[in-house]
């Protein structure tokens, strides 16, 4: 069964604030908040380690890009989901741009019971684990995002459009 068939019908998703515990099934927060580090640069900085990106599968290599996002007004209408089976994907808002991350779990297709929407006020980034379904970038204001992901000969982006008869929205 195709992923979009599992998402048929109408559904409104509540928009929750991001928290490390509630986001953990989908990935990690990229933030120094609540993490310790070690002093570097003659005491002028503290280095706080983050989980390493997972980008080396199938001869992949790190790719760093900037995505220039246009604001999407609330309520957000979801169009499609995608996933990257061979590597993680990290989004880092530049200049504090607020955004929404819509994520889901599922092996062969999206599990509708796991679809969640998180609001991020621009104070942290997220790393989506390999295989996590997600809606493409949804910025709440115009802004740039640094994106770290896998690049390689084997293309790693499976896209599943929401079909006719599906209307999923994210409410503010």
What residue ranges define each of the domains in the chain, with the CATH number in brackets?
3-171 (2.60.120.480)
**Mean pLDDT, residues 61-79:** 96
pLDDT of residue 4: 47
Q: Within 13 Å of residue 58, how many CA atoms lie on the same side as its CB?
A: 12
pTM for this one? 0.92
**Would you place residue 6 in the very low, low, confident or very high pLDDT band (cuts 50, 70, 90)?**
low
pLDDT of residue 55: 95
**Mean pLDDT, residues 117-140:** 98
**Would you place residue 155 in the very low, low, confident or very high pLDDT band (cuts 50, 70, 90)?**
confident
Residue 5 has pLDDT above 80, yes or no: no
- Residue 43 CB partners (closer than 8 Å, separation 6+): none
Measure the CA–CA gap between 165 and 163, rounded to whole angstroms.
6
Here the tokens at position 29 are 């927060």
pLDDT of residue 73: 93
Measure the CA–CA gap between 146 and 64, rounded to whole angstroms.
7
């Amino acid at each position: 069964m195709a992923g979009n068939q599992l998402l048929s019908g109408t559904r409104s998703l509540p928009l929750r604030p991001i928290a490390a515990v509630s986001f953990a099934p989908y990935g990690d927060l990229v933030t120094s908040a609540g993490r310790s580090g070690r002093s570097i640069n003659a005491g002028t900085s503290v280095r706080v380690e983050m989980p390493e990106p997972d980008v080396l599968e199938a001869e992949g290599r790190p790719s760093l890009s900037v995505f220039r996002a246009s604001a999407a007004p609330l309520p957000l209408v979801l169009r499609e989901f995608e996933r990257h089976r061979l590597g993680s994907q990290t989004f880092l808002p530049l200049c504090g741009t607020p955004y929404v991350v819509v994520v889901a779990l599922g092996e062969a297709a999206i599990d509708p019971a796991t679809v969640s929407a998180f609001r991020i006020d621009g104070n942290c980034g997220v790393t989506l684990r390999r295989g996590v379904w997600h809606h493409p970038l949804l910025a709440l204001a115009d802004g740039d995002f640094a994106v770290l992901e896998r690049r390689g000969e084997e293309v790693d982006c499976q896209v599943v459009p929401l079909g006719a008869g599906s209307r999923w929205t994210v409410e503010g």
